């Protein structure tokens, strides 16, 4: 991952961190439950975007390298790893 890509991911995560702190304040101040749920949904969407960006990078670097490799064990491990990510996402969704 390039330094610029890493910086963008870190900035997104810091923004999400600030958003979560805002949600904590909302709960502490007994904000409307629906408003809190809406903000939690926004945080989840932002985290999903970070996850998608990280997965995209992984697919274009590590996975591509592994699949082009002559090492069949390495290729199989990478496929298993990616399937694990998709299976975990399916359980959450």
Q: Measured between alpha carbons, how far is 24 from 39 in angstroms, rounded to an integer?
A: 10
DSSP 63: I
Q: What is the CATH number of the domain that holds 38?
A: 1.20.58.1000
Q: How confident is the model at residue 22 (pLDDT cuts 50, 70, 90)?
A: very high
H or E stretch including 93?
Answer: none
Residue 71, helix vs strand vs coil: coil
Give the pLDDT confidence score for residue 8 in this predicted structure: 93
pLDDT of 26 higher than 80: yes
Cβ proximity of 63 and 78 under 8 Å: yes
Domain that holds residue 26: 3-92
Give the pLDDT confidence score for residue 93 in this predicted structure: 64
pLDDT, tens only, 49-66: 999 999 999 999 989 999
Q: How many domains does the chain have?
A: 1
């Amino acid at each position: 991952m390039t330094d610029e890509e890493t910086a963008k991911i870190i900035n997104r995560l810091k923004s999400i961190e600030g958003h979560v702190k805002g949600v904590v304040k909302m709960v502490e101040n007994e904000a409307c439950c629906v408003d809190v749920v809406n903000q939690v949904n926004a945080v989840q969407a932002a985290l999903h975007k970070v996850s998608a960006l990280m997965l995209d990078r992984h697919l274009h670097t590590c996975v591509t390298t592994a699949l082009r490799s002559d090492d069949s064990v390495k290729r199989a491990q990478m496929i298993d790893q990616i399937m694990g990510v998709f299976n975990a996402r399916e359980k959450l969704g």
